[in-house]
A and B are shown apart, each in its own frame.
Chain A
């Protein structure tokens, strides 16, 4: 498996921490998923210390923490959020989200490249949430990113891999870069499909948190990414248009 800024993940699943029915279910889902990375965020903290309690729970999970810049629409906002996240979570990792479109939450790739350059120059290890555009991918790598995270489908949509052709092209174009399908996963089969394309990890949240049984779905996702990764490593057969009998015809009885 390709390393993420020098870190090899024990498991190719990155799991979000939002929208679970309760903290206990979040914790159980994480343990069941075996996820190596937890995505987290920042919000206004009051005297109630809600953030502190959440931070302690995440630490107890003993996973790597990937803070995001969710909801940021400008370079300045995203860069400032990254600085604040580095201080709260004590990590140079940042999932850089720069939202360009309200309905689809499509990344604003122009601002994304600009912010990625600023943060990489400042020593951040940037995980850019991007589209499947190859040229944007090149620009992000030139800006200093060593990971690319194209979307599968819009965040929270559960539609799976909308453009497998482009995701496959991305894998071929960047053979040495760790690639993560981030967003849009709804089913275990979607997660397996991403891994079958040769991706290095899958980042998902809603598919588990909003399932009727999040803990069971976490287990399913863990097995899906494992199956997909094993399948990719096993060098799958090429599909063909016509049938080819798998049972040998030599020695078949003459009965008609």
Chain B
């Protein structure tokens, strides 16, 4: 399956959002959105991704 992960095309084997994050090596405190909709941590294991889905993974950063 091909998805967009943080704006870059990725081929992934996993199907759920939680497994895709693990497959892509994303760990720690992050927040996720799929197709511009927020997906809380508690929903990641049950959320099945589809081909072409846009996944955003955000972490802490410096800000003013």
Interfacial residues, chain A to chain B (CB-CB below 8 A): 16-20, 26, 39-47, 49-52, 54-55, 58, 67-68, 70, 76, 80, 83-85, 87-89, 155-156, 205-206
Contacts and interface: CB of A to CB of B under 8 A. Distances in A.
Interface string B25-55: 1111111110011101100000000000000
Contacts of B57: 44-45
Contact of A58 (B32, B41, B60): B60
Q: Is the interface of A mostly helix, strand, loop or mixed?
A: mixed
Contacts of B37: 80
Contact of B25 (A17, A47, A80): A47
Contacts of B59: 42-45, 49-52, 54-55, 88
Nearest to B36: A80
Nearest to A80: B38
Given A44-B7, A80-B37, A70 B29 contact: no
Interface residues of B, number: 26
Contact of A155 (B6, B29, B30, B64): B64
B17 to A, nearest CB: 14
A45 B63 contact: no
B13 interface: no
Interface string B2-33: 00001100000000000000001111111111
A22 B33 CA distance: 30
